[in-house]
Structure 1
């Protein structure tokens, strides 16, 4: 589909330049007075130039503003008839304000208003009331134009900042999903590969079993990666893993050699999609850390359904004192997920040994 012309800056600037030049030409044509110098080719050329300089308003907004003022002064210094100066001046002031030159735009607008006041009083000897009315009208128009440009600039910056924030959030989400989705499987593969290497000569049967686990785990990892790529292509409407997939998740831990116990207390109830997904990811990351770092043989996963919250506890009997200080996205990612749901997370070593991750999510 062809892009609309008003979304192309070059065409917009060209249309504005033509419109301003045409408006100035019409004003010159209808504003001639006998006591003034008759409009000639130079008058129309200056009017056209005021429109032409607007083609450069995005690249050099201040230069265009000053050029417009200079052309206006030249025009009036030659005693040509009035040409509706508000039209080219408003376009130049607006362009400067939108480009972030608010102070300069206000200063120029103020200078034009003061200059107009002096010209009306001295040159035309106008009465006090008409002069005041004209000055107020000019000031209101020019200041309104500048404020409109500044408002649009501020809005554009807010929209861009919001877009940047969403991009950053999406990158973080993708990093979490990649880490959480593949981390556990790769950790299990690492454990089984080490086991196969250790028993290859002594127990070929056990080594073959480990290799079969590796094959199945890598197959699941590819499926997980395919699912994540589908989510990225199709958006967040694609079904995400949740509490009802925890049994499949814990099977991976069992294949890695852990004795896994799963318990549920309270009355299970449906959760929001965000809570459902977060529970899965917390358990996944905690079990992955157990496989990678804990030197554990058992892990217990417990879900406790309270009236207004859901408590998740993952406890292992590991002995690695570095488990709670692992680098990367692990515990940090869990903390961010829990915080986003206004929940609480604690990860501590137990007095009798082992490590426990406890998260409480509001429901």
Structure 2
């Protein structure tokens, strides 16, 4: 039954636009929530399965957004000593692949530098990296347009020989694109955590000295996890850039990382469905409250809901719900055993 839940949720999400209609406001909320959920899933791979908290995870998201946008728009910049680099616009799909590769490469760099020192040092390195990247995006005006923002980013276009091409201009098309990328990321994470590599990640999280004693290479394992996590965040950033078609340095806001952490912790870190459930709840809750409450009251309710969830289900929604279901089945199983015993003859 547990394995059917992701399939049922995917079917429900695929049918959701048909049930709600193509209302632009609702579709926009679902698309942005889906993009943040992909980012939360990527963060969960580090936080939930290796125990490493990255508070600069938004850096990989922003790198993916800028790389994909600049690849699609083209640029002509001077890099110093009289040298200029000119790039002609490439298809948005190529920009997506380059965004994944660039974010993954940055994840490898940060992993190699910081996983030799753990705990608070890793958190500091990731926060510092995110701030450095934000300052580059803000001040390298010739390349990124700085606070003026990159505009006119083209939408995704896909084509097959002999069948023509399709440009994803509508919100409904972008919704299914985000759903498809999110499904691929979920499948990849599920494959990883159920493999030998996933057991190595959990071993390092639960008992690192024991994991090292049985031959697990901690630095290599954590670096590979960081690369995959950063690449997925870069994919989410690319989707974000080509959906909104405008980005500025605010894409690196620390508040977005905090939102991802809330989605992971509230949904249940270290579980496959946790970031998905947490993403849907905490992504759509502000949208549901917006028509009936002032902005200040929305954030108060948002905080109260988070506190109640963590108070009633300290491990998150998914592990808490699973524990409640298991507790509900236990008495029935006990009663069945008692009823099946023959009566004692006196």
Whether TM-score is above 0.5 comes out as no
- Structure with bigger gyration radius: 1
With the shorter chain as reference, the TM-score category is under 0.3
- Give me the TM-score of the superposition, normalised by structure 1: 0.25
- Give me the TM-score of the superposition, normalised by structure 2: 0.26
